[in-house]
Amino acid sequence: MLKNSPMRVCLLITILFVHTGFSQTSIYQTVNGIISFQSEAPLELIKASSNQLIGAIDVDKKNFTFKILMRSFQGFNSPLQKEHFNENYVESDKFPEASFKGKIIEDQDLTVDGTYELRAKGILTIHGVSQERIIKSNVTVNNKTITLKSSFSVLLSDHNIPIPKVVYQKLANEIKVDVNATLEPR
């Protein structure tokens, strides 16, 4: 449904209109950020990634929103595994998206060029379960472009995703996530 770029941009605009008071010039956005995750269990290593990460940062208000479609993840060790991911674990039918929305803690002016280590405090929602998280990111501002790199961990147990006993050696509870996104002004 949301596979093509124009559609994603439309979705992004819709999201942004919900948050009132955004001024046009201060919003940086992306629709093709890369988000990848890795599960390292004793018997199996699973990797998957998606390049359809949608994100927006308001540099004036220091707010941000990021969303990803769970079905857009590719990689996995087999198509069956991808199917299990969507049907059994994250239940993409019920919860098509994961999101992270919140505020940047630091009082850093992001219109000034430079590299900063910032912390994002917000609500991370996966599988319908929300958790308050502080996520550290490296942000580089250069010539009106914001490049964002972040690494953090997600515990499946935090988001009500149980691991069946038969696969507990193949699936780790702690998933390592990496985000790479380049945001440009609207």
Partner 1 sequence: MLQKFKNIGLIICCCIAISSFAQMPGTKIFTLGADYQEPPHINTIYQLKNGYILLGTTKGLYKFDGVTFTVFDQAQNVPDTVTAICELADNILVGYSNGFIGHVQNNFIAADSLEEGFPKVAITKIVAAKNNIVWFATAGEGIYYLKNKRFYNIDTNDGLTDDFVYDLSVINFNHIIAATDKGINICASDEKKKVIDHFTSRNGLPDNIVRSLFISGGKNIWLGMQDGGIGKFDLTNQDPPQKMNWSYGQVNAIAAMNSRVFVATEDNGLLVFNTGDDFFNLQYKDDQLKKVSSMLRDHEGNIWVAGNNLLMRSSASNVQPLAVLDKNTTENLHSLLWTKDSSIWFNTTNGITQLKEQNGMWQQKNFVIPNVNGASISTLYQDIKGFIWIGTLGKGIIILNPVTGKQQILKDIPELINTNVISITGKDSSIWISAFEATVCVKLHGDNMSYTNYAGVQNLGNKYVYNILQDSHDNVWFATDGKGVIKYQNGSFTDLQQFSKLYGNVVYKMAEDREGNIWFSTYNKGLVKYDGKTYTNFTKSQGLSDMNITGLTISGDNVFLVHKNDIDLVNTKTGNISYLDADQGVNNLNTDLNALTTDPEGNIYFVADSILYKYNSTKEIVLRPIVMIDRVQLFLNDVNVKNGHSFRYNENNLSFYYSGLYYSQPTRIQYQYRLEGYDKNWVNTKDRIKNFPQLPPGTYTFKVRVSLNQNFSASDEAAFTFTIEPPFWRQLWFIVLSIIALAAILYLIIYQREKSIKKYNKLESEKIRSQLETLRNQINPHFLFNSFNTLISEIEENPDKAVLYVEHLSDFYRSIVVHREKDLISLQEEINILNDYCFIQQKRYGEALKINISISPEQQKNYYIVPLALQLLFENAVKHNVISTDYPLCIELFIEDEDHLVVRNNINLKFTPEKGSSMGLQNIQKRYLLLRRKNVTIENDGKFFKVKIPLIIL
Which residues contact partner 1 (rule: CB under 8 A)? 103, 105-106, 117, 119, 121, 132-136, 152-153
Is 81 in contact with 46 (CB distance < 8 Å)? yes
Residue 71 phi, psi dihedral angles, 5° rounding: -70, -10
What's the rounded Cα separation, in Å, for the pair 51 and 36? Answer: 8
- Supply the DSSP symbol for 22: -
Strand partners, 177: 37, 152
Compare residues 106 and 109 and give the one whose CB is closer to partner 1: 106
Smallest separation, CB 42 to partner 1 (Å): 22
Smallest separation, CB 115 to partner 1 (Å): 15
Smallest separation, CB 123 to partner 1 (Å): 12
Q: Number of C-alpha atoms within 13 angstroms, CB side, residue 70? A: 22
Compare residues 97 and 158 and give the one whose CB is closer to partner 1: 158
Pairing of strands 97-104, 63-69: antiparallel
Smallest separation, CB 102 to partner 1 (Å): 9
Compare residues 19 and 186 and give the one whose CB is closer to partner 1: 19
The tokens describing 139, both together, are 């942000």
Compare residues 98 and 135 and give the one whose CB is closer to partner 1: 135
Q: Closest Cα partner for 177 from 62, 31, 73?
A: 73
Smallest separation, CB 131 to partner 1 (Å): 9
Compare residues 83 and 174 and give the one whose CB is closer to partner 1: 174
